[in-house]
Amino acid sequence: MAIKFVGKPIIKADAETREYYGKAPETRSIPELLDSGVIIIDKPSGPTSHQVSAWVRDMLGIEKAGHSGTLDPNVTGVLPVALGGGTKLVDELHIGSKEYVCVMRLHSEVQESRVREVMKPFVGKVQQMVPVRAAVKRQQRAREIYALEFLEMRGRDVLFRVECEAGTYVRTLCVDIGKRLGCGANMQELRRTRTAIFGESDLVRLQDLKDALFEWQENKNDAPLRKLVIPMERMVEHIPKIVIRDSAVDALCHGANLALPGVVQVDSGLRKGNLAAVFTLKEEIVAIGAALMDAREIVEKVGGFCLDVG
């Protein structure tokens, strides 16, 4: 795998990596992947997200697994389940946007043209009241709808696609659209089709995971399982990157802030205050931290610290 920059890579210094330092993600063994990977489960309707994570953990025989972005029991689709050390990165997936396909049921007949017209103003910043069923305190929250696409309408059922900020309640969106229409509406079905950079093309059914695990354990064939377990580094593809030299890794791993002499490349999209993911020259993730300066300053300055990992 190659490091994917949000902007363009800016070279600060030339450096090479030593063979005995670290290990490229694609060369990890299966046990290593199961301790530093992520599987994008196609969550079925019925179980909770926590149950699905527990099933994956027990199936793989690992100590720790955790999901990013809880889905209600009746909601299906993209559920990233991080494995082992990969669980440290689940919060970073919340930074990325989410995409859903929803069936909204209107409480009375409405013309399609009217539905299309009413949905348009919901793109942008919206105020949402947390649903009664939610596991958090009920209060108004500001969220952003990036895109809202009407797909089709059959009777009182409206199919639409929504791209939104993490933490947006599609159930509440349906209720609010119904209020604006004057007829009332509720969410009938919901499927998450994308979380950050992970979409439906990455999905793994639980049965397929079980079959791949059997193939590895019983037939010593790890190819099917390798196709399903993604290195944890991909969980931060949507975050600006900093690449460091081998000699800077140890200090960073022991909690030191990143000093400028250790930087080899920086993402042109990095701004002061942004989160940044720090990678080695072998494309391994080392740390996540807050940038103390813009990309251009990192390239031009000689001394000081550019990233706070505290």
- Smallest Cα–Cα separation from 82: which of 91, 72, 71? 91
DSSP 217-238: HHH---HHHHHHPEEGGGGGTT
CA distance 213 to 29: 14
Give CA separation, 294 vs 88, 137, 273, 275, 310, in Å: 25, 36, 8, 11, 18
3-state secondary structure (DSSP) of residue 8 = coil
Give CA separation, 222 vs 26, 55, 97, 203, 226, in Å: 13, 20, 32, 18, 6
CA distance 278 to 246: 12
Active site residues: 72
3-state secondary structure (DSSP) of residue 141 = strand
CA distance 41 to 13: 40
CA distance 150 to 288: 38
Residue 14, burial from CB neighbour count under 10 angstroms (0-12, 13-18, 19+):
exposed
